[in-house]
Structure 1
């Protein structure tokens, strides 16, 4: 990282990925503005940052243009993480998902352009690959979206591209594949699979796998995602901007293997967890069977070098959950 200090606006900064980014860049000495409405983020994720003079919390909503304008005043970079995640949530309520993920995104992009922000880096999604069956997923080959959520994330990429070409603002989309790690919320109807399974195991409850457990995902530890955001921010290469990059580890794991790793890792803390039975349920609407990223483009252009494999990341995550949520 360059020694220069920047002002960085992080939307959704009280969420899982956002709060980790806030913490990381604050430790690097940058000035951080966190914009969050606490719809899915949590105050406890950023409470310890509040006394820091370089940290500002704006409690606001990306659907409110004035809040967006306020958040980007004097910002060098925007790391846009705010969104309503979850395929099932978007199927249950497509209108709210669209309001937040499309209108909110456009508000932030427009406010950033007006404020003269140097670069707008945003959380894109592997859901954009839709019904494309080719593996590994390569940035330039996508299919048709399979959910309202996937549509919203693809629209983000289209808007970013147009703003880059029309107004000259630098944009970079990071297509996140199944991110996991510390601070990921295990509670709620739309909790991600890893923290949900961890909490169930810790309570000696049987986790439910959707389908037969042979669906596979490219599970990606949070520190790899932080690395990608930093590289996207600081890259001086012209081919790095106005494009998208897969943000993943570049390996795939079935849900059956995942749950075995988790059970084994947690059993080192509590041997009874090894005896918990796994339950199988129906497949989930809008789910793609397999997901695996090619990370060649990120390696070649950004110099990306993910440090955490799935098992290394799981060991870190499990330790964090055990210490913080038990």
Structure 2
């Protein structure tokens, strides 16, 4: 009998890539749970090949039903990023913290073996250290990063000999997905370069760690059967390249073409700058990101050329715009 895995947020930016990879493995019975805030197009390629559940992770009864018989939970569902979370802090607490606690509790009660949690490197706040490692004190600055940090602590309490929990503090994700986002740094710059031939850089010297979406999805898949003794109750950073925004803009221009104009605005409303280290997970599991920012940009270029990202101004590509549009609460 196949083991069963449930991916919350399975129709999302990372989730839709991950679910496709899990289905392709053919040795897992895959379920995807998502509120479908951005539709279910991200799961079109796996329709009929996995169980798709439309619902809200705040619904305890739905969680009871969805987690019954599940062996592994990969919990991606969240109110993602600071702008979205700031729209409704109470909603963010409910989804990112309270619902995550319920998922951990119910998964354990139902006999699941493992919970893999998508946290965020934003839990560190602003750090001056040249390398931000997992041992540093967390100083989350926003409701989004605070709920992620709270959730890490909450799920860790459920870890024991029969139930393994692990949290991943990933860098900002980049690259193409069937449920595309155009509101994260690399994707914003690439989209503007492709469609407008103009990149606007605000600030520029702030460092932003990034990770290719395929690398992150592969990591989540690998963690399903990673040795328990190496991941139990652990948190791991995961990112590949720590470049300044100016450097990222230059990479995008080189990939898209010399006709792209880079406009620089020395002022920025977001001066966060940090450099995360992923040495811990590489030493523990021998895994590390293999894809580059440039590859992510080329992937996006191909997607635009193939007509996979029609109307890039559509709110479906921007989380905060869509949440405002439908007044999600």
TM superposition score normalised by structure 2: 0.86
CA distance in 2: counterparts of 1:173 and 1:147, whole angstroms: 19
2:132 aligned with 1:137: yes
Query: Which range moves more in the overlay, 315-324 or 26-35?
Result: 315-324
What's 1:128 paired with?
A: 123
What's 2:55 paired with?
A: 60
Query: How many Å apart are 1:148 and its aligned residue?
Result: 0.8
Are the equivalent residues in 2 in contact too, given 1:124–1:174 (CA < 8 A)?
yes
CA distance in 2: counterparts of 1:293 and 1:233, whole angstroms: 24
Query: How many Å apart are 1:82 and its aligned residue?
Result: 0.2
Query: Which range moves more in the overlay, 167-176 or 275-284?
Result: 275-284
What's 2:253 paired with?
A: 263
Q: How many residues align?
A: 307
Are the equivalent residues in 1 in contact too, given 2:134–2:237 (CA < 8 A)?
yes
What's 2:67 paired with?
A: 72
Are the equivalent residues in 2 in contact too, given 1:10–1:35 (CA < 8 A)?
yes
Alignment CA distance shift 1:186-1:301 (3 Å): closer
Residue by residue, what CA displacement relative to the aligned partner does 1:63-94 show, whole Å, maximum 9, x if unpaired?
A: 11111122212111000000011112223321
CA distance in 2: counterparts of 1:237 and 1:111, whole angstroms: 20
Select 2:103's aligned residue among 96, 100, 108.
108
Select 2:213's aligned residue among 209, 222, 233.
222
2:5 aligned with 1:8: yes
CA distance in 2: counterparts of 1:318 and 1:6, whole angstroms: 37
What's 2:144 paired with?
A: 149
Select 1:169's aligned residue among 146, 163, 173.
163
Query: How many Å apart are 1:237 and its aligned residue?
Result: 4.2
Query: Which range moves more in the overlay, 237-246 or 115-124?
Result: 237-246
Are the equivalent residues in 2 in contact too, given 1:182–1:321 (CA < 8 A)?
no
Select 1:253's aligned residue among 233, 243, 248.
243
2:34 aligned with 1:36: yes
Query: How many Å apart are 1:205 and its aligned residue?
Result: 6.0
Query: How many Å apart are 1:230 and its aligned residue?
Result: 2.4
CA distance in 1: counterparts of 2:58 and 2:130, whole angstroms: 36
CA distance in 2: counterparts of 1:86 and 1:176, whole angstroms: 12
CA distance in 1: counterparts of 2:117 and 2:304, whole angstroms: 27
Query: How many Å apart are 1:168 and its aligned residue?
Result: 5.1
2:281 aligned with 1:298: yes
CA distance in 2: counterparts of 1:32 and 1:261, whole angstroms: 37
Are the equivalent residues in 2 in contact too, given 1:232–1:302 (CA < 8 A)?
no
Residue by residue, what CA displacement relative to the aligned partner does 1:212-249 show, whole Å, maximum 9, x if unpaired?
A: 21111121001211222123211124131111111111
Query: How many Å apart are 1:277 and its aligned residue?
Result: 4.1
- The unaligned stretches of length 5 or more in structure 2 are 311-329
Query: How many Å apart are 1:281 and its aligned residue?
Result: 6.6
